[in-house]
A and B are shown apart, each in its own frame.
Chain A
């Protein structure tokens, strides 16, 4: 499995061309809920007073996501912002803070972050959840794997009930739990 990273950690990461030019920085991380993959990024300009750009970067145009920078071949790969996310979608789809429900209708907390596999897949592996009493009496932030049939929007995240049995306390141990959950779902 590739390295796991929190989507919020990608925000602010510098976008650098293979020619060594820092051309932008990541603003929003956009992912396709049904497909469970990152589709692209919205961008901000560089510099203290630079605001959001009207351009975006498709994930398929990313050369590599490194710990310090997102590498691309050339700035010419930038596209119009709507190619990655429309204005309406951006308003409706903000998942951080959205309530998390199991498919049985139990509210178990709110979305704190999204766990992404780096490398070429951009796969969404799971979610960091700020747990409530129904999941963890100590109200810790825990990691739960993504379900097979996932419903996710700014309104709510719906996960399979079995996912609660594969909760992890930290990102390194979550990788094994996510694999165990996948194996469990395949065997059903």
Chain B
């Protein structure tokens, strides 16, 4: 029955690796952020 422990170990490592990759992918995913620093633009700033 030693192989049960081997399967459990492989499953645990795979789950951990998947979780790490998912978390990192989410942390790295970008977005667009608006801040309020400048003066009001006139005609698109030209």
Chain A residues within 8 Å of chain B by Cβ, number: 50
Chain B contacts for A154, CB-based, 8 A? 34
Residues of A contacting B20 in the complex (Cβ-Cβ under 8 angstroms): 49
- Return chain B residues, CB-CB under 8 Å to A145: 44
CB distance from B28 to the nearest CB of A (A): 4
Q: Which residue of B has the minimal Cβ distance to A10?
A: B30
CB-based contact B24/A49 at 8 Å: yes
Whether A32 contacts B45 by the Cβ 8 Å rule is no
Interfacial residues of chain A within 3-57, with CB under 8 A of chain B in the complex = 7-8, 10-12, 25-37, 39, 42, 44, 48-52
Q: Please list 19 pairs of residues, one from A and one from B, whose beta carbons are closer than 8 Å in the complex, sorted by A's number.
A: A7-B32, A8-B32, A12-B28, A12-B30, A28-B31, A28-B32, A28-B33, A29-B30, A34-B37, A34-B41, A37-B45, A48-B24, A52-B28, A93-B33, A113-B32, A123-B44, A146-B41, A182-B44, A186-B43
Q: Which residues of A contact B (CB under 8 A)?
A: 7-8, 10-12, 25-37, 39, 42, 44, 48-52, 85, 89-90, 93-96, 113-114, 121, 123, 125, 145-146, 148-150, 152-154, 178, 182, 185-186
